[in-house]
Amino acid sequence: MKLAVIGTGYVGLVSGVCFAELGNHVICVDKDHAKVELLKSGIVPIYEPGLKELMDSNTKIGRLSFTSELDQSVQESDVIILAVGTPSLPSGEADLQYIEQAARDISSALNGFKTIMTKSTVPVGTNEKIKAIIRSQTDHEFEIVSVPEFLREGSAVRDTFHPDRIVIGIERKEAAANIVELHRPLTENIIVTDIRSAEMIKYASNAFLATKISFINEIANICEKVGADVTKVAEGMGYDKRIGASFLNAGIGYGGSCFPKDTQALIQIAGNVDYDFKLLKSVVDVNNGQRFNIIHKLESILDDLYGKTIAIWGLAFKPDTDDVRAAPAFDIINSLLKRGALVRAYDPVATENFKQSIQHDNLYYSKTAEDAARQADALCIVTEWREFRQLSLQEIRSWLKTPNLIDGRNIYTEEELLNTDFVYYSVGRPK
């Protein structure tokens, strides 16, 4: 099939590369000329394991290309994939200006029947708006299909090739054949439904996962008080198939470009139809508070943080990505700086992105984990990078001035800490 992907952000680029790998002919389109030039020269602007290799091989054999020429790309393709961003407005609502602009751009380029497939996360009813925009500007026939994306950053390539399900939202089910065919090599679990339900499935899925995280974080907070171990509690709960074991890792809460944005957007979507989504509002509140547990624990050990050196390991919102959007590290570091602490921060790949948002006289970005930890009064683990797990506790101990370890992601077990002199605080485990 011939595909044009509009938008080379996370979703667009990964989908484009993976559809090319499946044998389709893919043109990735972006208005940002500089980005297109980078992509053409083989540079992947995001850190995503496995993506560069696939991008290189498919570009080489001519199945994948990059351009800023939207009109020609649309005209040469059978399916147009909309994958532009839908960031949050200050109100929490999704900002649809990019997707609406893309719809206008596509409509003026149409030269015959096309399937227009939306992958961007959009509020319920948006695909109908897209349809109305295009319909008002062209006489050519087209079909709108909503195919929400469920890939995770850091495992985007694997998730794309092995999805749990593909959801296809379409007005006329009989017109779904080519989109079903496009996704058939990926999974048997293809659900064809109406467009509004497809749009809702995406938000409901992210909101449910965010709810699991906030739920287990609250259980963790209670575990700390009653002397139970949340990792055991989660394990015991997870064997129940109705609950499931994943997304029950307690920690300092979720970040990233999806859960914070999509939970807010769903609260707004509900609010717009006079529904007060109380449960989801609490999920967001719990998440916003959870990251400060690190600060409370530091204060319980060090008392006043003024003038204390605090090492922060991990700036990305999760491992295997350089994405720092809505990363808990921002609030944690800002809060430390406000208290007069000296912060030494390290991340294997996200430092450059993080630096663009915070510069401060008392914030030093280290080039190695060791450099950040040297002579620190406490070390806080904020992102569970594999690199941190691989360092020996004796070595880490030798770098620190005082052996205070706040493990915000429960990367160590209590047993590992048994014969050490670390003052160790994790999340939801007995002290």
Work out whether 149 is an interface residue with ligand UGA (CB under 6 A): yes
325 is in an annotated binding site: yes
Could you say which DSSP state residue 324 is in? -
Angle of helix 278-290 relative to helix 259-272, nearest 10 degrees, comes to 150
Work out whether 153 is an interface residue with ligand UGA (CB under 6 A): yes
Contact region with ligand UGA (CB under 6 A), list: 35-43, 246-254, 344-352, 412-420: 246-254
Q: Closer to ligand UGA by CB, 71 or 387: give it.
A: 387
Contact indicator for 182, 79 with CB cutoff of 8 Å: yes
CB of 153 to ligand UGA, least distance (A): 4
Q: Name the residue among 277, 22, 16 with its Cα closest to residue 149.
A: 16
Q: How many alpha carbons fall within 13 Å on the CB side of residue 167?
A: 22
> One-letter amino acid identity for 422?
F
Contact region with ligand UGA (CB under 6 A), list: 55-63, 108-116, 251-259, 347-355: 251-259
Q: Name the residue among 83, 85, 104, 57 with its Cα closest to residue 3.
A: 83
Contact region with ligand UGA (CB under 6 A), list: 255-263, 292-300, 345-353, 397-405: 255-263
Contact indicator for 214, 283 with CB cutoff of 8 Å: yes
Work out whether 248 is an interface residue with ligand UGA (CB under 6 A): yes
Cβ atoms within 10 A of the Cβ of 374, count?
A: 16
Cβ atoms within 10 A of the Cβ of 16, count?
A: 29
Q: One symbol per residue from 353 to 392: x for binding ligand UGA (CB under 6 A), - otherwise; what is it?
A: ----------------------------------------
Q: One symbol per residue from 315 to 354: x for binding ligand UGA (CB under 6 A), - otherwise; what is it?
A: --xx------------------------------------
To the query of whether residue 18 is one of the catalytic residues in this protein, the response is no
Q: Closer to ligand UGA by CB, 152 or 196: give it.
A: 152
Contact indicator for 54, 21 with CB cutoff of 8 Å: yes
Burial class (CB in 10 A: 0-12, 13-18, 19+), 138: middle
Residues that bind ligand UGA (CB under 6 A): 121, 149-153, 206, 209, 213, 247-249, 251, 253-256, 258-259, 262, 317-318
Active site amino acids: 258
